[in-house]
Structure 1
């Protein structure tokens, strides 16, 4: 971001950390409107990490009206003087569906990574430049995208991103690492637990208020305005997420991809497992010592078939998720074949192997 801390404290000592909330709110809107799933993110003072998956296959099932509604939610046609989007009437939306060629373009763009990042970046640029009373590029360059080839790569990258504030020493625990996926999941879980306690005490209205304040629709926790939750792990339309436990409900209530959808059926992982994984790893990062391994860490990693020592090498290191792609040896071999290459280089300590002959 202009080689500066434009979401933290700027060169003049002015605190503009409220812009991190802009980014988080924009990500939430995009996750609910575009054909994409957000599994994790970390908004730092001078850069941004997002773990997402584009779902262009979903757009084919949307009606023309649904495409227009989603497009206008991201790219409003009108704004008030303070920048607040003006919600169009249903009549206006229906009139816009008359241009079938334009609707087809919007349908394609709603499932396109480049347009998704454009929607995220341009909104922040416009608002920040207006606030700074300047013009020009807010972001230093285009985004970098690294494919995550399997569930092991996905979960490890999510944790790596969630731990970024702790690694950078701007937070001590996932609970205090604001503007991250882990913090959002914890926030939603705490709200769900508080609401459940109020319901048990007979205070239904109080429970509704808690959920509303947390931005949770208590009657639609299995899917937000963006439609069915993730099928990242092969759970079509949320099937397989019928558990009534509080943590599972909290997992489905968030606008983020449910943790249960981020792993294959053979390696179950709950929201509590994931947060334990992040918390335990965060304590090791904070101490700077990997000699004492928390007892709860190894069993979770074993379920994911991940080596503890390599996990810590990865989480304690920097610039781990770079290169052409990240994943296990077999996944990289398949990706190399898909690209017509002999090999896809690995740069992540978690997946260190010898090259194929």
Structure 2
């Protein structure tokens, strides 16, 4: 039975989520239609641009993404504290970058005088929009509706373009987060669309590699892409806001993993292991398996056993879905 979205996305459990949206049509979302020869490759750019645009509007950071032939992956971080820090005016400004708003909020945005009843109505509306601006479902909706309209217009047709629901996985700890990000960034290599991470078009890892090449201190958060959630180094106190790894360590990990997944390297284990694997205490073979099968092997909640059980209890679940996989690969 399909689970309610609120059981799959709970900020009390974790702010990190892996989301996947797939196209319903026979024709590719991107790539080339083999029957007609028509290329839809430019649509990958549409999706990438839309995702990066929306992260400037929502209180949601993008940790990783990959746009594939008939689906896309994105790892998101919900920044609740950021949304709660916005003034009412900023919430309205952000929302009305995407939608028209109401007559009262348009009046409020123009800084025209409102009577008390009108201001109360605006405040109520702002509270709703503030919640939506840190809601993953609304983030995906604003991405997919925009792309569907453009694709339908280009194809001169109507109807569904995407599956009705996107798939989401809650990433409960560092191990799950690192494994999922690498899985997403390595999608084009597994699909034989690219030979190296830095050559993987329309992925977060390519954007990070290009920025790192030009940086004097690639691990510095202000020398990383401002459209992506920055890497801020290993956990410490006080911990800056960002991904709990060094960028160089993560890129080394992705590059090493990608080389193991290539056909000419199948079954070969490099003796020079990335240090990040040692810190996360993940077995090499387990890591390589997760880098290829993360989406299919794990259920909606992914993390260490203790954290998994804790979150399931907090969500009122009588069972612990995905326990055996998490116990085996992320113990």
2:308 match: 332
TM-superposed CA distance for 1:56, in Å, is: 3.2
Please state if 1:276 is matched with 2:276: no
1:206-253 CA distance string (max 9 Å, x none): xxxxxxxxxxxxxxxxxxxxxxxxxxxxxxxxxxxxxxx343246544
1:311-351 CA distance string (max 9 Å, x none): 01222336445413111111111112112235423279675
1:183 match: 206
1:259 match: 231
User: Hey, what's the Cα distance between the residues in 2 that align with 1:90 and 1:280?
Assistant: 55
Asked if structure 2 preserves the Cα contact closer than 8 Å seen for 1:41 and 1:161, the reply is: yes
Asked if structure 2 preserves the Cα contact closer than 8 Å seen for 1:67 and 1:107, the reply is: yes
Pairing 1:96-175 to 2, within 5 Å after superposition: 99-175=122-198
User: Hey, what's the Cα distance between the residues in 2 that align with 1:271 and 1:91?
Assistant: 42
Instruction: State how many pairs are aligned.
Output: 293
SS at match of 2:262: helix
- Taking a change above 3 Å as real, the CA distance of residues 179 and 349 of structure 1, as seen in their structure-2 partners, is farther
Please state if 1:31 is matched with 2:55: yes
TM normalised by structure 2 equals: 0.79
SS at match of 1:183: helix
User: Hey, what's the Cα distance between the residues in 2 that align with 1:18 and 1:287?
Assistant: 28
1:92-124 CA distance string (max 9 Å, x none): 554599533322221121111211111111110
Asked if structure 2 preserves the Cα contact closer than 8 Å seen for 1:40 and 1:50, the reply is: yes
Q: Which has the higher contact order (CA 8 A, sep 6+)?
A: 2
SS at match of 2:167: coil
TM-superposed CA distance for 1:306, in Å, is: 1.3
Asked if structure 1 preserves the Cα contact closer than 8 Å seen for 2:180 and 2:294, the reply is: no
Asked if structure 2 preserves the Cα contact closer than 8 Å seen for 1:251 and 1:259, the reply is: no
SS at match of 2:38: coil
SS at match of 1:272: helix
User: Hey, what's the Cα distance between the residues in 1 that align with 2:323 and 2:194?
Assistant: 26
- Range with greater deviation from structure 2 (117-126 or 343-352): 343-352
1:169-227 CA distance string (max 9 Å, x none): 1111101111111011112223x33xx6xxxxxxxxxxxxxxxxxxxxxxxxxxxxxxx
CA RMSD of aligned residues (A): 3.0
2:277 match: 301
Pairing 1:341-356 to 2, within 5 Å after superposition: 341-346=317-322, 351-352=327-328
User: Hey, what's the Cα distance between the residues in 2 that align with 1:107 and 1:115?
Assistant: 11
2:71 match: 47
1:2 match: 24
- Taking a change above 3 Å as real, the CA distance of residues 259 and 249 of structure 1, as seen in their structure-2 partners, is closer
Asked if structure 2 preserves the Cα contact closer than 8 Å seen for 1:326 and 1:346, the reply is: yes
- Taking a change above 3 Å as real, the CA distance of residues 281 and 152 of structure 1, as seen in their structure-2 partners, is same
Which segments of 5 or more consecutive residues in structure 1 lack a partner in the other structure? 78-88, 197-244
User: Hey, what's the Cα distance between the residues in 2 that align with 1:312 and 1:25?
Assistant: 30
Q: Which of the two has greater strand per residue?
A: 2
Asked if structure 2 preserves the Cα contact closer than 8 Å seen for 1:336 and 1:344, the reply is: yes
- Taking a change above 3 Å as real, the CA distance of residues 278 and 334 of structure 1, as seen in their structure-2 partners, is same
1:208 match: none
- Taking a change above 3 Å as real, the CA distance of residues 110 and 340 of structure 1, as seen in their structure-2 partners, is same
Q: 1:68 aligns with which of 92, 104, 126?
A: 92
Asked if structure 1 preserves the Cα contact closer than 8 Å seen for 2:59 and 2:134, the reply is: yes
2:37 match: 13
User: Hey, what's the Cα distance between the residues in 2 that align with 1:284 and 1:347?
Assistant: 27
User: Hey, what's the Cα distance between the residues in 1 that align with 2:163 and 2:32?
Assistant: 17
User: Hey, what's the Cα distance between the residues in 1 that align with 2:327 and 2:174?
Assistant: 13
SS at match of 2:24: coil
Asked if structure 2 preserves the Cα contact closer than 8 Å seen for 1:56 and 1:110, the reply is: no
